[in-house]
């Protein structure tokens, strides 16, 4: 892990900032010089995890590139809530073209920068899970395969939230969406084979792939920083809870991300050249129920008839992650 936790500085090991740390060791988000790339006044829902994740990631990228950054953005919540005419929340050069072409648009921008000899200008592409794992998958894979100099960031909230919470290929099993209703003998989303984009990205052998969560800011920032040390295609997959689609209280956004990590449901790791080089270990392991219960999209697992069988399958998947990524072992 390129991220070194700070030891025992007051209580601040895991907080955003820490008054006792020297300035250069603080997180970007703790500083007043952060760029607020996604500025106030955006129209995201209360407690939006994507708005948070996007600011975390893009501010970190801005810091890493000393402000020499251009972003391409897929259609989706992030685009709609940030740039409705006549106002934009973005403080960086930013373009929205289509839902499924963001990786390609970014490739074009990177090509333009290369041909103009502006190697200092770096390019990020960003989209939701729908724009990444579904409709934008072809362009993304092409961008990976060519190893274009783009950092692609997927803000995964597990569904098409902008259109009213429909299923995407990133929707987890058993979750209720508008197109996987919580009715019938197998309510909610199917237990499919999954479409693990980080692993697919790694299979392309690109220089850097990482997952992150909004509850581990320092780790997230370190990953963006690390990503910017490479040239070529890089992929960062950030889990961003969605109060609307997940049906949790808006104040629990970070808590849900934390629980996704601490249950093992969402493994947080990084990989270089297709090989896992670090994992963020679970500090206080919790059973998946703690993660599932506050979310209305899983309400049918608890009432009227508790579905221990389904919860067990979810727990098994989390346990597999824990084994596979060694999430509980000492480094």
Partner 1 sequence: MRKPFAITLDPGSSLANHTGSWRTLRPEYLDRLPPCNNACPAGENIQAWLFHAESGDYEAAWRSLVQNNPMPAVMGRVCYHPCESSCNRAQLDSSVGINSVEQFLGDEALKRGWKFDPPAAPTGKKVLVVGAGPSGLSAAYHLARLGHQVAIHEAGPMAGGMMRFGIPAYRLPRDVLDGEVKRILDMGVELKLDAKVDDVLVTQKAGGFDAVFLAVGAHIAKRAYIPANEAAKIMDAVQVLRGMEGDAKPLLGRRVVVYGGGNTAIDVARTAKRLGAEEAMIVYRRTREKMPAHDFEVQDAIEEGVLIKWLSTIKEAGEGAITVEKMELDEKGVPQPTGEFEELKADSVVMALGQDVDLSLLDRVPGMQIEGGVVTVGPNMMTSHPGIFAGGDMVPAERTVTVAIGHGKKAARHIDAWLRGEAHDPGPKHELAEFAKLNTWYYSDASKTVRPMLDMQKRITSFDEVVMALDETTALFEARRCLSCGNCFECDNCYGVCPDNAVIKLGPGNRFRFNYDYCKGCGVCAAECPCGAIRMVPEEI
Partner 2 sequence: MLKQIEGSRAVAEAVALCRPEVICAYPISPQTHIVEALGELVKGGELSSCEFINVESEFAAMSVAIGAAAAGARSYTATASQGLLFMAEAVYNAAGLGLPIVMTVANRAIGAPINIWNDHTDVMSQRDCGWILLFAETNQEALDLHIEAFRLAQALSLPVMVCMDGFILTHAYERVDMPSQEQVDAFLPPFDPRQVLDPARPVSMGAMVGPEAFMEVRYLEHVRQMRALELIPGWAEQFRDAFGRDSGGLLHAYRTEDAETIVVALGSVLGTIKDTVDEMRARGERIGVLGITCFRPWPANTVRDALAGAKRIVVVEKSIAVGLGGIVSANVRTSFAGHADTVYTVVAGLGGRSITRQSLARVFASAAAGTLPPLTFLDLDHGLVERALARERDTRHSGPVAEGLLRDVGLVAARIS
Q: Which residues bind partner 1 (CB under 8 A)?
A: 5, 7-20, 26-27, 29-30, 32, 36, 38-44, 46-49, 51-52, 55, 82-83, 85-92, 217, 243, 249-255, 258, 283-284
Alpha helices per DSSP H over 243-302:
253-262, 288-292
Of 79 and 221, which has the nearer Cβ to partner 2?
79
Angle CA(248)–CA(78)–CA(69) in degrees, nearest 5?
A: 130
The DSSP result for 209-247, as a single string, is EEEEETT-HHHHHHHHHHHTTS-S-EEEEEE---IIIII
How far is Cα 247 from Cα 176, in angstroms, rounded to an integer? Answer: 10
Give me the least distance between CB of 144 and partner 2, in Å please: 10
Partner from partner 1, partner 2, none binding residue 199, C-beta < 5-8 Å depending on class: none
Q: How far is the CB of 3 from partner 1 (least distance, A)?
A: 14
Selection from partner 2, partner 1, none that 177 binds (CB < 5 to 8 A by kind) is none
Q: Please identify, using beta-carbon distances, which residue of 30 and 102 lies nearer to partner 2.
A: 102
- Measured from the CB of residue 83, what is the shortest distance to partner 2 in angstroms? 4
Burial of 98: CB neighbours in 10 Å, binned 0-12, 13-18, 19+: middle
Pick the closer one to partner 1 by CB: 45 or 199: 45
Give Cβ neighbours of residue 303 (< 8 Å, ≥ 6 apart). none
173: left (phi over 0), alpha (psi -120 to 50) or beta: beta
Q: In terms of CB distance, is 27 or 263 closer to partner 1?
A: 27
Tokens at 197, concatenated: 């984009």
Instruction: Give least dist CB 54 to partner 1, A.
Output: 9
Nearer to partner 2, 88 or 277 (CB): 88
> Which listed option, partner 2, partner 1, none, makes contact with residue 67 (CB within 5 to 8 Å by class)?
partner 2
230 closest CA partner among 100, 89, 85, 61: 61
In angstroms, the Cα distances linking 231 to 73, 119, 148 are 20, 10, 8
Shortest spacing between CB 133 and partner 2, in angstroms: 16
Q: Which residues bind partner 2 (CB under 8 A)?
A: 67-70, 72-73, 79-80, 82-86, 88, 90-98, 100-101, 104-116, 121, 138-139, 141-142, 145-146
Q: Least CB distance from residue 308 to partner 2, whole Å?
A: 44
Distances (CA, A) of 254 to 143, 249, 264: 31, 11, 16
Find the shortest distance in angstroms from Cβ 15 to partner 1. 4
Residue 43 binding result from partner 1, partner 2, none, given CB thresholds of 5 to 8 Å by partner type: partner 1
Phi, psi torsion values for 238, nearest 5 degrees: -110, 125
Q: Of partner 1, partner 2, none, which one sits near residue 250, judging by CB under 5 to 8 A according to partner kind?
A: partner 1
């Amino acid at each position: 892990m390129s991220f070194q936790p700070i030891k025992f500085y007051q209580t601040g090991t895991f907080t955003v900032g820490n008054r006792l740390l020297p300035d250069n060791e603080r997180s970007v988000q703790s500083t007043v010089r952060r760029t607020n790339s996604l500025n106030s006044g955006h129209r995201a829902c209360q407690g939006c995890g994507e708005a948070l994740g996007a600011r975390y990631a893009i501010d970190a990228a801005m810091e890493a590139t000393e402000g020499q950054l251009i972003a391409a953005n897929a259609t989706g919540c992030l685009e709609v809530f940030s740039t409705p005419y006549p106002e934009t929340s973005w403080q960086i050069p930013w373009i929205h073209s289509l839902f499924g072409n963001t990786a390609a648009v970014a490739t074009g921008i990177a090509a333009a920068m290369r041909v103009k000899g502006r190697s200092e200008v770096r390019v990020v592409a960003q989209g939701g899970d729908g724009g990444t794992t579904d409709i934008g998958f072809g362009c993304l894979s092409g961008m990976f395969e060519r190893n274009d100099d783009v950092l692609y960031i997927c803000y995964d909230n597990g569904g098409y939230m902008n259109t009213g919470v429909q299923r995407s290929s990133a929707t987890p099993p058993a979750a209720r969406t508008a197109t996987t209703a919580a009715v019938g003998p197998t309510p909610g989303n199917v237990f499919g084979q999954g479409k693990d984009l980080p692993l697919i990205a790694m299979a392309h052998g690109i220089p850097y792939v990482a997952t992150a969560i909004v509850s581990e800011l320092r780790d997230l920032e370190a990953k963006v920083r690390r990503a910017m040390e490479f040239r070529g295609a890089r992929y960062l997959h950030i889990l961003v809870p969605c109060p609307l689609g997940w049906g949790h209280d808006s104040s629990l956004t970070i808590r849900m991300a934390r629980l996704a990590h601490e249950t093992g449901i969402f493994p947080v790791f990084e990989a270089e050249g297709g090989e896992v080089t670090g994992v963020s270990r679970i500090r206080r392991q919790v059973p998946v129920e703690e993660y599932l219960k506050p979310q209305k999209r899983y309400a049918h697992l608890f009432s009227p008839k508790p579905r221990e069988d389904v919860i067990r399958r979810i727990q098994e998947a989390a346990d597999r992650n824990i084994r596979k990524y060694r999430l509980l072992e000492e480094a």
